[in-house]
Amino acid sequence: MGAPRQLDLKIDVAQLSDPGRDPNKQINEDSCGYATTKFGHLCVLCDGMGGHYGGQEASRRAIKTIFEHIEQSADGTKPVQALKQAVEMAGRRVYELGGPPENKVRPGSTVVAMLLHDAGVDVAHVGDSRAFVIRSGQIYPLTRDHSMVQAMIDAGFLTEEQAIGHPDANKITRALGMKPEVEVEVRPEPMELFPGDLLITTSDGLTDLALNKDILGATKQALASGGLDHACEQLVRMAND
């Protein structure tokens, strides 16, 4: 049986990336992309790290690998497995950027990827880049960060509000490139999609500074007066204010 060709699901896509306000961090290390694949609509966002263009190259290599590898997956592969294997391969390719295993300082990248098809949406992630769905006027997280701050929230030491601007916000516990093999978290089952659902992926450039309710409010306000591109612009503006 061949891999499903998902032609019935129709989506609109917009994306925007911005290096932020810090004059010392004007190299944009984020990468994002969209393509229609043999498994469905694939949206990927990566946030690189490493400085001196290492993070930029890491996120670009991760994106390129994921899009290439998923199309090379064998016919009959489940979409979620094709997605997971593509992200795992991206982890290996980013690790190779760091040179010999004894190198302690290595470029790396987070990743969050959504594969939309007629059975729903599969989500895979590594690190602290996030995915959300806005449905019926509410926002719901589809990922949980692999980070020190998230561990403190889970343990009850921090609230979501206290996590905003926390000094350990940039310390993640999992990333592409940290190790030769990466543990990729995927949703066990695809989430059913409904007309009007709005899916969002974002790096920590937004979520380190804005609560989920703030993201919801800014998105709803933007969509009341414009389209998806306008919503992206408003979210970037909120992060930079």
235 domain residue, yes or no: no
pLDDT tens digits, one per residue of 176-211:
999 999 999 999 999 999 999 999 999 999 999 999
Residues 174, 183: contact at Cβ < 8 Å? yes
10 domain residue, yes or no: no
How many structural domains compose the chain?
1
109 domain residue, yes or no: yes
Residues in the chain, total: 241
233 domain residue, yes or no: no
| Average pLDDT per consecutive 10 residues, the chain (241 residues; last block may be shorter) | 55 90 75 96 96 86 98 94 98 94 91 97 98 98 97 96 92 96 96 96 94 97 96 95 86
229 domain residue, yes or no: no
Beta carbons within 8 Å of 235's beta carbon, 6+ residues apart = 16, 202, 206, 215, 218, 219, 222
Residues 118, 8: contact at Cβ < 8 Å? yes
Res 52: pLDDT: 62
Classify 30 in phi/psi space as left (phi over 0), alpha (psi -120 to 50) or beta: beta
69 domain residue, yes or no: yes
Classify 133 in phi/psi space as left (phi over 0), alpha (psi -120 to 50) or beta: beta
CATH code (residue 133)? 3.60.40.10
What single DSSP character describes residue 172? B
What residues make up the domain containing 127?
A: 30-209
221 domain residue, yes or no: no
**Other beta carbons within 10 Å of 80:** 21
65 domain residue, yes or no: yes
pTM of the entire structure? 0.92
Res 51: pLDDT: 67
